[in-house]
Amino acid sequence: MKIIVGADAWGVELKDTVKQHLAKHGHEVTDIGGTPENQRPYYDVAKEAARMLQAGAAERAVLVCGTGMGMAIVANKFKGVYASVIESEFTARMCRAVNNANVLTMGSMVVAPYVAVQAVDAFLKTNHTQGLEDVADFLHTALVAIAQIEQEA
């Protein structure tokens, strides 16, 4: 799978851990920064990742800042980009199963490296409605309603 990774100064170390894990498992990873030498603000990283997703350069993105919230706020400004802040493997799985998120954001001040890679794996392996078949019709309807709201906004 093609995956974008990016981080601000707070998230570089955790982003690099995730990047290595993804590459080790055969994913095509595009690292949009930052690095210790080239720090980037979260709003620039999230904007670049969102535009790349819109252009079809990747299927998913993993973005890291201090809390994950700034990255999510910015990424969610872009049509067709659905970012979720996670703090566990469970929330990573649910952001896909319930909301069909295509961007996972997390905070280096909140999520330990081991939990981060487990969460990323769950995010990549989970499909929309997986494990929630009893409410699948509602979840599909919700995505249609969200797309309509996005058009109106």
H/E run at residue 72: helix 69-75
**7, amino acid identity:** A
Strand partners, 37: none
Q: Among residues 22, 45, 62, 65, which one is catalytic?
A: 65
* Active-site residue, 65 included: yes
Burial of 138 (0-12, 13-18, 19+ CB in 10 A): exposed
Cis peptide before 70 (omega within 30 of 0): no
- What are the residue numbers of the active site? 65
